[in-house]
Amino acid sequence: MAVAGTAWFKRRLWGWRLVVAIIATQVLGDLVNAFRGDLFRGGVGFVIAGLPLVYLLRPNVRAAFASGDAPRLG
C-alpha cells in the first residue's frame, strides 16, 4: 500500500494500474461476499469500493497518470 500510495502521488502510470488492481480486487471480494450470503456487507462494500474504481477508470484520470499532470475535474 505504501508503494501504491507513493506512486499515486507521483502520478506514475504503473501506480495507477496498481491502485486499480487493488480496488478491483476489493470489489471482487465484496461481490463474492454478497453471493455467499452476506448481502449487506457485500453490497455496501461493493458500492463503497466501486465508486472510486469508476472514478479511476475515467479517461481524463487515466490520462493524467500517463502524462504526470493533475486530473481535471468535471
pLDDT digit string, tens, across residues 23-55:
999 999 999 999 999 999 999 999 999 999 999
- Write b or e for each residue in 34-55: b if 16 or more Cβ atoms lie within 10 A of its Cβ, otherwise e: beeeeeeebeebbeebbeebee
pLDDT-based confidence at residue 8 (cuts at 50, 70, 90): confident
pLDDT > 80? residue 74: no
Domain that holds residue 61: 11-67
Q: Is residue 73, in this structure, part of any structural domain at all?
A: no
- Asked whether residue 46 is domain-assigned, the answer is yes
Residue 61 has pLDDT above 80, yes or no: yes
The model carries a pTM of: 0.81
Q: Is 3 domain-assigned?
A: no
Listed in sequence order, the residues at least 6 apart from 40 whose beta carbon sits closer than 8 Å to its beta carbon are none
Question: Mean pLDDT score of the chain, rounded to an integer?
Answer: 89
Helix axes 13-35, 59-67, angle to 10 degrees: 140
